[in-house]
Structure formats: structure tokens, C-alpha cells
Amino acid sequence: MSQSDTNTTLSPSDQSSAQPSAQPEPTARQESAAQQEHADRSHTKHALHTNLRRGMESRHLQMISLGGVIGTGLFLSSGYTIQQAGPIGTILAYAIGAVIVYLVMLTLGELSVAMPVTGSFHVYAEQFIGPGTGFVIAIQYWLTWTVALGSEFTAAGLLMQRWFPHTPTWIWSAACIVLIFTLNALSVRFFAEAEFWFASIKVFAICAFIGIGLLAIFGILPMAGYDHAPLFGNLTKDGIFPNGFMPVFATILTVNFAFSGTELIGVTAGETRDPETAVPKAIHTTLWRLVLFFIGSIVVMCALIPWRQAGVGESPFVLVFNSIGIPYAADIMNFVVLTAVLSASNSGLYASTRMVWSMGNEGMIPRWFAKTNRRGVPMLALCAAMAGGLLALLSSVIAASTVYLVLVALSGLSAVVVWIAIAYCQIVFRRRWLASGHSADELKYRTPGYPYTSWAAFILCTASFLLVFFDKEQRFALGAELVFIVVCYAAYFGQRWWRKAHPSEESEPLQLP
């Protein structure tokens, strides 16, 4: 990282106002206190003087954090994961992944409560690592959701083919695009309510699956192929790690990607009512819900279906429901997966929009992207985010073997890069907070077990990123990600050079009539 990117001192204008020439040379502690005071003023500005509205409540935040995680991967691809690592290996991988994401969430909680800003990740990275890194994190997170948008729009059209096989797929994709754009354009309240109900359907389906599955496991409900209670014999029938331990390692990497989306709590903090209460509550419920929904579902699948047959050709959820005799199981799950797609695209467009808005608000891109309308919606940023999703949608059709595969590879690792930055930013924030004369008790929410929790999150996420090299199928993604990071830094410093060579006045974001 270059020296200019790691420089976190005050700007020359701030220094001149904070350190008059008639004053004696300040001590290091005074300089640190001045920096913190400047940071505090900046954080207050971000939190209180934006045109976005605080329209989300605690129930919205909790469902959004779940809605960002529970997607088609659990409903459709979990069978493939079980085949790779075996039942115990898959459960172990999800357990480790849940711990990693929980550690990251604990560090994010302290930052989000202390500085509840929309598009928080890159603002934290800009403040505590450097402006270049802030720019890179913003682009990384924007790309993550933009690529996801293209995939979800395509998936929605394909899912509707089950009920309307003679209707072109693009019509349903277009309908999904119009619906999701409208929900985000009306107000943050409409977005939050829609996401709450989309996520609620997924949560209800998973709870029903686990409940019905347990009844079948203990023989209360009949299960095709069994004349006795199946119990849990299938979990260890072929050994603990039937394919060896290395597939478990590869599965951990996949699980980390599957859990990306929990960090949406940080994105929404700037538009959440009473973030001091809502954010910690959402964080503390994340781990046990992830354990219940993901690991609970995996246990039920593996107990009722031999692991080598799980998910071959159709969703393991459908296999279990059909074996128990649930009528219209395939149609029920098609509806659930469709809501999962709508939920993911709804969250994805919101996250991508707020990242574009935040970059405009910080002056990283033209400031008119930060303009909002009377409902507090950044329409220009919303249109830009949707345009990115449409380009990803087109690339998935036109250049699936080239451009889109590169985008998907970058998107997968970008979430882990964001997690690494979150953990490190919290470490630097706490150090500066203490160095400025404050105490940890003054923080309204503190990361439990600091600094061990913070360093564990940083090390585990970094290891997950670097150890991708040992997975041949994902090695290309690591190379593409490293090249993309270099390109992002080059773009930032090129932009900074251009602005110095062509100075112009930039105004604060204005509110559209």
C-alpha cells in the first residue's frame, strides 16, 4: 500500500485552522486528539446531515440481514455441497463459516453504532486505512451486488417457466426488474417492508422444512424407503469424511461466499431508526439464526436422504417433501425460491444504490449521484445501480464464457475483501478512540472480547481469501481479484491526478424538488 494511501492526518486546511502559527508545536497526543475531533465532526456530518431518511425499524433490519444471506444456494445448491464434503464435513464447514461471519458482525457493530453512515464500509476504510482503499472497497462491494442482480433477474425468468412454459423468459425478467426498481424508488420504507415479507416467506419455509423433517426423522411422519425411524444413521454411514478432508476446506470457502450479505446491516445503519438499539440486536440474532436455518436444514437433509443422492437433479428440499408425501412439493419450493430471488434482487439493488450514493456523497464520483428526491430516495444512484445490473444481465447472455465469468469470480471474493477491511477498520478505530483520551466504556456498543475477536475476524477472513489459491477451481478467481484490486487503485490515483490537474469547485449534495 502506498504512503499516500496510508496517510490519515488532517488536510492542510484543517491543520492550519487547528494549529495557529502562534501556538507552540503540539504534542503527539494533542495531534491525535485533533484528528479524533476532526473525525468525530466528519462522522456527525455523515450521520445527521444526509438527505436519506431513517425509515427502517429493528424488525426490518433483522429480516434484511437474513434476506441477504438465505438465497438459492441453500434451496438449490446445498445438495451439491453435501456431495462434495459429506454430511459431517458440510455441517463443520457451515459451523466454521457461521463463526467467521459472526466475528465480522461483532466488529461491524461497534463501527456502525459509533458512526451510523449509509454505505459505511468504504467510509470506514477511507477514514481508518486510506482514501484509496475506501475507493477500492466501494467498487468491490458495488460489483458484488451488481453481478448478483444480473444473475437474479435471469433466475426469476427461468423459475416462472415452470408455470408459464410458453412465455418468453425475458418477459418475466423484465417484470422482476420493474417490480424491484419500483419498490426501491418509492421510499426506503417500501423497500424495507417488501424485504421483510420476502425474507419472512423464506424463513417460514425453512422452519417448516426443519419441523416436518424432524417428525420424519423420529418416525412420527412416514418416509418413503423407510419402515422405521431414519434417525441420524445417514450422517456417518460412510465415515466422517467420506471424500477426505480437502473437500471440507473447499466447502468452507463456498460457505463464506454464501454468508455474504449479513454485512447489509452496516449499509442500512444510516437509514435505521435508533441504530444504537437496532444494530446490536440484529447482530446478536444473526449467528443463532444462521446456525438454525443452515445447519438445521443440512442435518435434516443428510438424515433423511443418503448423501450421495442429495440434490441430484433437483432441490433436496423437494426430495424430502416428496418422500414424506407433501402435495405439490415442487410448486411450493418453486414459489419459495422465487421469493428468495426477489429478496436477493431487492437487497442487491438497495445495497448497490447506497454504495453509489455514498461514493457521490464522499466526492469519489460526481456529487450529483448523491442527490435525493422529496422521499429521500437517491434516484440518480438508483438508476446507475440498475443500469449496472442490466449490463450484468446482458453479459450473462451475450458473453457468458468470458466477461460474465470474470465478473462472477470477482464478485465471489469481493465480499471477503470487504470483511477483511471491516475487521481492520474496527481495530484502528478502537486504537484511535483510546489514544484520543476516550475510554471503551464511552462506546454505546463495544465489540466483545476486543482485541482477540477483532484479530480473529481479520486473520480468518484473510486466510479464507489467500487459501483460495489451493483450490484449483477457484484459483482463477483469486488471480482476477488481485488484478482488479490493482486496477481499482490505479483508477483512484489516476482520478486524483486528474482532479489536481483540472481543479473545480464541488458543491454539497442538493435535494431535488
**212-264, pLDDT tens digit by residue?**
999 999 988 888 777 788 888 888 888 888 888 888 877 777 777 777 777 77
**What confidence score (pLDDT) does residue 252 get?**
77
| Averaged confidence pLDDT in the chain | 78
Residue 48 domain flag: no
Give the dihedral sign, CA 234/304/257/112. Answer: negative
Residue 508 domain flag: no
**What confidence score (pLDDT) does residue 8 get?**
37
CATH of the domain at 409: 1.20.1740.10
Distance (Å, rounded) from C-alpha 175 to C-alpha 180?
9
Cell of 76: 438449490
Answer with the residue of higher pLDDT: 194 or 39.
194
The residue-averaged pLDDT of 265-271 equals: 65
Helix axes 78-114, 403-435, angle to 10 degrees: 30
Neighbours of 113 (CB within 10 A): 20
Residue 12 domain flag: no
The total number of residues shown for the chain amounts to 513
Q: Are 256 and 464 in contact (CB under 8 A)?
A: yes
Distance (Å, rounded) from C-alpha 101 to C-alpha 407?
23
Omega prior to 451 cis, within 30 of 0: yes
The residue-averaged pLDDT of 362-366 equals: 81
SS (HEC) of 218-250: CCCCCCCCCCCCCCCHHHCCCCCCCCCCHHHHH
Paired residues of 511 in beta bridges: 372
Per-residue pLDDT reduced to its tens digit, 112-127: 888 877 667 788 999 9
Share of the chain above pLDDT 90, in %: 17
Answer with the residue of higher pLDDT: 287 or 116.
116
The residue-averaged pLDDT of 474-496 equals: 88
What are the distances in angstroms from CA 352 to CA 28, 216, 268, 298? Answer: 40, 42, 12, 31
Distance (Å, rounded) from C-alpha 456 to C-alpha 50?
34
Neighbours of 494 (CB within 10 A): 10
Q: Quick one: pLDDT band at residue 405, thresholds 50, 70, 90?
A: low
Q: Are 54 and 62 in contact (CB under 8 A)?
A: no
**What confidence score (pLDDT) does residue 113 get?**
86
**For residue 32, is pLDDT > 60?**
no
Residue 400 domain flag: yes
How many domains does the chain contain in total? Answer: 1
**For residue 95, is pLDDT > 80?**
yes
Helix (H, G, I), strand (E, B) or coil at 372: strand
Helix (H, G, I), strand (E, B) or coil at 446: coil
Q: Quick one: pLDDT band at residue 50, thresholds 50, 70, 90?
A: very low
**What confidence score (pLDDT) does residue 354 get?**
83
Q: Are 488 and 140 in contact (CB under 8 A)?
A: yes
**Ranges of H-type helices in 58-130:** 58-67, 72, 78-114, 120-128
Q: Quick one: pLDDT band at residue 461, thresholds 50, 70, 90?
A: very high
Helix (H, G, I), strand (E, B) or coil at 56: strand
**What confidence score (pLDDT) does residue 490 get?**
94
Residue 180 domain flag: yes
Contacts from 391-398 at CB under 8 Å and sequence distance 24+? 391/146, 391/150, 392/146, 392/147, 392/149, 392/150, 392/151, 393/149, 393/150, 393/153, 393/154, 393/173, 394/150, 395/150, 396/150, 396/151, 396/154, 397/154
Distance (Å, rounded) from C-alpha 482 to C-alpha 490?
13
**Residue position matching grid coordinates 446490536:** 280
Residue 11 domain flag: no
Residue 22 domain flag: no
Distance (Å, rounded) from C-alpha 409 to C-alpha 398?
17
Burial 357-391 (b: 16+ CB within 10 A, else e): bbbbbbebbebebbbbbeebbbbbbbebbbebbbb
Residue 51 domain flag: no
**Closest to 324 measured CA to CA, from 228, 215, 231, 410:** 215
Distance (Å, rounded) from C-alpha 68 to C-alpha 340?
9
Per-residue pLDDT reduced to its tens digit, 294-352: 889 999 988 888 887 775 556 788 888 888 888 888 888 889 888 988 888 888 888 88
**For residue 4, is pLDDT > 90?**
no
The residue-averaged pLDDT of 130-155 equals: 86
Q: Are 48 and 252 in contact (CB under 8 A)?
A: no
**What confidence score (pLDDT) does residue 485 get?**
93
**For residue 512, is pLDDT > 70?**
no
Report which secondary-structure segment, H or E, holds 69: none
Answer with the residue of higher pLDDT: 430 or 372.
430
**For residue 413, is pLDDT > 50?**
yes
Q: Quick one: pLDDT band at residue 17, thresholds 50, 70, 90?
A: very low
Helix axes 452-466, 78-114, angle to 10 degrees: 140
**Closest to 362 measured CA to CA, from 56, 34, 118:** 118
Question: Highest-confidence range of 33-42, 147-156, 442-451, 493-502, by mean pLDDT?
Answer: 442-451
Answer with the residue of higher pLDDT: 243 or 88.
88
Q: How many CA atoms lie within 13 A of 30 on its CB side?
A: 8
Q: Are 113 and 280 in contact (CB under 8 A)?
A: yes
Cell of 70: 438465505
Answer with the residue of higher pLDDT: 230 or 512.
230
The residue-averaged pLDDT of 86-107 equals: 89
Burial 321-355 (b: 16+ CB within 10 A, else e): bebbebeebeebbbbbbbbbbbbbbbbbbbbbbbb
Domain range for 286 is 56-497
User: Is the pTM here over 0.85, yes or no?
Assistant: no
